[in-house]
Structure 1
């Protein structure tokens, strides 16, 4: 039976969801069963062998749905391989260097023995929700800084790691 992977994400304006979809697509192409779902819509992770959780970064914190997902499913997550990703910097910094996880994300990583965390560039474009987002855009600081090549390579590494441990979930 192929490994089943959930890619759960918390997003406000949709760009983190697009990253999650890209990750699930790579995992599927690599022969895994994968689906990307909004974190708030996941009732259980019991049917998945592995989980990738992503959240948009807002003022140094993961988007609330990602935080709540990890808290709500912490016991089940502790029993399977887990990877985290963040999206957020509205500049090229995520492509230029490794950006450590936000403090709250790091704390969850330590509790759950998360295998890896990566921060990808963010995306904030016209039509974004929220007063702060509109102010950022008004000040000319928006744009799309996601690097889908890096995202796909990271997803490929996850697929390789999962394929290297057939029948093993941790």
Structure 2
């Protein structure tokens, strides 16, 4: 049996979601899979992959448009392979404390594609995050990096187990 190729595609505004995607790719490779991590906007064809993990940042209840467009652009081929979705966004510990369901647009896309699962990870807003909203949140004391590497790696290992079972 050949090594399964997994595409980890992400839509990231300021890099936090890209960081989560990189961690997922690293864990999948640790488990012996051939994982490729690339921006969702650069994904034109998923046919060379056995499975896809697609993630997007959340802003004001909306999933990253590059991730959303990637799902729509590749919908026909995504329906024929295992797909997992993730979101990143909450800049608090809520993602670690409870299962946060996908926003409605992501839930619809998952249904269309027959995606297996969705998970929400905490996001990150730090002094290096550009934008007025980020600066305002930091000013209100609401920033921080709430990405949880242990949770990210555990979810990626769970995907590996499903793909190698």
CA shift, 1:127, in A, is 2.5
Equivalenced residue count is 164
CA shift, 1:129, in A, is 2.3
Q: Is the 8 A contact 2:54 2:85 kept in 1?
A: yes
Q: Distance in 2 between matches of 1:139 and 1:63?
A: 24
Q: TM-score, normalised by structure 2?
A: 0.97
The residue number in structure 1 matching 2:98 is: 97
Q: Is the 8 A contact 1:8 1:39 kept in 2?
A: yes
Q: TM-score, normalised by structure 1?
A: 0.94
Trace 1:137-156 onto structure 2 (pairs within 5 A): 137-156=138-157
Moved over 4 A (4+): none
The one-character-per-residue Cα deviations of 1:135-164 (angstroms, maximum 9, x if unpaired) are: 212222110011110000000000000001
Q: In structure 2, the residue corresponding to 1:55 is in which secondary structure? A: strand
Q: Distance in 2 between matches of 1:61 and 1:103?
A: 9
Q: Is the 8 A contact 2:44 2:73 kept in 1?
A: no
Q: Distance in 1 between matches of 2:156 and 2:107?
A: 20
Q: Gapped runs of 5+ residues in structure 1?
A: 165-170
CA RMSD of aligned residues (A): 0.8
Q: In structure 2, the residue corresponding to 1:158 is in which secondary structure? A: helix
Q: Distance in 2 between matches of 1:122 and 1:74?
A: 26
Q: Distance in 2 between matches of 1:63 and 1:136?
A: 19
Q: Gapped runs of 5+ residues in structure 2?
A: none
